[in-house]
Structure 1
Amino acid sequence: MEANAEDEIILSSLPIERGFGTPGMCLFQEFWCPSTLVKGLNIFHKQFQAKESDIFVASFPKSGTTWLKAITFAIVNRQSFSSIDNHPLLTSNPHQLVPHVEMVCRGDLDCSSIEPRVFGPHTPVPSLPNSIMECNSKIIYICRNPFDIFVSAWIFFDKVKPESLTSLKIEEAFEMYCNGIIEFGPWWSHMLGYWKESLAKPDKVLFLKYEDLKDDANFQVKRIAEFLGFPFTQEEENNQVIESIVKLCSFEEMKNLEVNKSGIVFQSVENKSFFRKGESRDWVNYFSPSMTEKLSQIMEEKFGESGDIF
C-alpha cells in the first residue's frame, strides 16, 4: 500500500475536531494533532532512527519552546561559534536551527548533518519512537504554567490560523482547552508523561520549568549544559560565556533581531509570531474568576500527587 493511501485510511478512521489554529485536528494515538501532521508523526513514530548523540528539545506548544531551542543550540555549538558577532541565532530563527522533527519526517524541513543533531518535538512521550527511548540520546522538556500556556496559545494560533477559519472567542477556546482539545493535547497528559519519565530516567530526561528559567537563567543554562554533557569549563565561566549565551537568547534580544521581525518559518507562519511578551502571569489580564477557579480545579484533579510540578 502506498504511503499516501495509508495516510488517508488512518485519517478517515480518526475523530476530528476544530483546533485552535486548524480546521481539522485528529485524535491520533490518544492526543490531538493537526491532520496535516499525521503523516509526519506516523513516519516519526515508526521509522525515525535516533543517534546516541541526538538531543530533543521537547515541549507542549507555547511553553517556552523558542527560548529553549535557542539556548540549547547555543550551548552545544558554542565551540563552533565562539564569537557572538557572527552567531547563527543572529540571522536564523531558532525553529530553523532546531527544526520540529515531525515536520522533518513529513519532508517539509531539512535535517542538519551537523552533530549533535538537535530536534524539537511536540510529540507526547508514548508516541516517541522506540529508537529514542532505547538509546542514550537526551531529552530536555520545558513545562509552563497551564494558565499562561492557554493565553499564549489562544493569541498565537489566532494569528497563524488560515484566513478562512473564524477566530475563537476566549470562552470557546477555554472550554476546548479544559477538555484537552488543543494541538498536541491534552496538555496535562503531555506534561505528566515527561515529568514521570524524568523521575524514572533522570540521566535521560531533564524536566525544566519556564518560570525557573525566567527566575535564574544563568543557573539553568549551566544545569542544561551539564545534563547534555557539554559542561562549561572554569575558564568559560570566568569569561562569562554563560552570561553571553543568556543575553544572546533572551527574549528582548531575539525579538529585536531583524530575522525575527520579518521572514517566515513553517510555510506561512511569520517569525515575529513567536515573540509576543515572554512574561509569566500574563494570564491575570485575561482570566475571569470563574475561569481561574475551573482551571485550578482541573490542575488539582489531573496532577494530584504530581502537583509539585508547579
Structure 2
Amino acid sequence: MKQQTHSKIRNKKSCQPKEEEISQQHAQLLNELPRSDSLFGECLYLYQGFWLCSDPLLGTMLMQNHFKHRSTDIFLASSMKTGTTWLRSLMFTTLNRSCFDLSDHPLLRMGPHECFPVLDLYKPEDYAITNMEALLPSPRLFATHFPHKLLPSSITDPSSGCKFVYVCRDPKDVLVSMWHFLHNLRPKELPPLSFDQVFERFCEGVTVYGSYWDHVLGFWEATFESPDKILFFKYEEIKRDPEAHVKKLAEFMGVPISVQEEEDGMVKKIVEFCSLEHLKGLEINKTGTYRANNGYELPNQSFFPVR
C-alpha cells in the first residue's frame, strides 16, 4: 500500500516533491521494504522488483523527480562487472577525441570512473551533474547500473532523444568478477566471503541491482521499441573486434570516424590507449582513489581485472 502511494506521487508530473520530502519517503521505505544482507556490510532493499542499497534507492527516487535530461544526453547502462570501466574509457575518449591529445589526456590523471558522472547516487545539487555543460560540450555522458524499469520515463521514452549504450557479459564471468569485487569490499571484521555465498545470491538474483538476467532482459526488450536509441553490446564481441565497436560507438554518439581519421589510425590509437592493460598500468589506477558523491571511497585498482 505504501509503495503504491509512493508510485502515485512519483508519477505526478505536475507535483515534484522537494528533496526533503523524498528523503522522508526514503527513510519510511527503509523500514517497510523487504531486506537482505548485501555481502559487503550494507543492507539490500527490494524496490520495485530489484535489490538496491540505501543510497542508490534514494538516488533513483531523487532522479525520478529532479533529473533534467537533455535530448543529446548519452547514458552508459550496465549491470555490475560487465565491462563498464572499459566502455567508460572508450566512450569518453571516442566522443572527445578532438578535445584531448592522447599524450596529455584526462585519463592519464584520473580514473575511468571520474570521466563522467554516475547517476546512481544522484543528488539535485551535485556539481558534476548540474554543471556538465560548463565542463564539456554536449552531448553529456552519464553512467548508471539502474535497471531500465527504474530509470525515469522522461529519459527512456524514445521521444526524449536520449541514447543508451548497454553492455552485457557472459554470466559466469560476471559472477567471478563480482566475487573478487565484493571480497575486496567486505569489511575486514566480517568473515571472509566464500565463492559459494556469492554464487547462491547471484543465482537467486539477490545482489546489488537485482537479477542479472532481468537487468539484461529489460534493456534487450527496450531495443525493439527504440532500436535507434539503444546500442546493445556484448563484452565478448567487443574483445574480439574492438576497432569495429569503436566505430559503431562513434557513429551512434554522433561523431563518426572520418576517412582521414581512419587513415591516420585514430581508431587503433583509441583502442590501444583505452585497453585495460594500458589503463591498469597507469599510476593513477595503481594508487588513486575514486570518491563517490556519497563520500564512499574505492581504490581505482578495484575496478580492473585481477588477472
Band of TM-score, shorter chain: 0.7 to 0.9
1:93 alignment partner AA: G
Q: What fraction of aligned residue pairs are identical, expressed as a percent? A: 36
Farther-moved stretch of structure 1 (125-134 vs 241-250): 125-134
Count of aligned residue pairs for this structure pair = 277
1:170 Cα deviation from its structure 2 partner:
1.0
Q: 1:99 corresponds to which residue?
A: 117
2:113 alignment partner AA: H
In 2, Cα distance between the equivalents of 1:174 and 1:144? Answer: 16
In 1, Cα distance between the equivalents of 2:284 and 2:266? Answer: 23
1:146 equivalent in alignment to 2:171: yes
1:64 alignment partner AA: G
Q: 1:20 corresponds to which residue?
A: 39
The one of 180, 188, 192 aligned to 1:155: 180
Q: 1:272 corresponds to which residue?
A: 301
Q: 1:10 corresponds to which residue?
A: 29
1:259 Cα deviation from its structure 2 partner:
0.8
In 2, Cα distance between the equivalents of 1:209 and 1:89? Answer: 24
1:112-134 per-position Cα deviation (integer Å, ceiling 9, x unaligned): 33222111110101111122123
Query: CA 1:79–1:206 in structure 2 vs 1: closer, same or farther (change >3 Å)?
Result: same
1:107 Cα deviation from its structure 2 partner:
6.1
1:172 Cα deviation from its structure 2 partner:
1.5
1:97 Cα deviation from its structure 2 partner:
0.9
In 1, Cα distance between the equivalents of 2:196 and 2:30? Answer: 29
Do the aligned partners of 1:63 and 1:149 also contact (CA within 8 Å) in 2?
Answer: yes
Give 5+ residue unaligned stretches, structure 1.
279-310
1:121 alignment partner AA: T
2:84 alignment partner AA: T
Q: 1:228 corresponds to which residue?
A: 253
The one of 169, 175, 190 aligned to 2:200: 175
In 2, Cα distance between the equivalents of 1:129 and 1:4? Answer: 18
1:204-244 per-position Cα deviation (integer Å, ceiling 9, x unaligned): 00110000011000001101111121110000111111111
1:200 equivalent in alignment to 2:218: no
Question: Could you state the TM-score of these two structures normalised by the residue count of structure 1?
Answer: 0.85
- SS of residue paired to 1:61: coil
Q: 2:152 corresponds to which residue?
A: 129
Question: Could you state the TM-score of these two structures normalised by the residue count of structure 2?
Answer: 0.86
Root mean square deviation, CA, Å: 1.7
Q: 2:5 corresponds to which residue?
A: none
1:199 Cα deviation from its structure 2 partner:
2.5
Q: 2:9 corresponds to which residue?
A: none
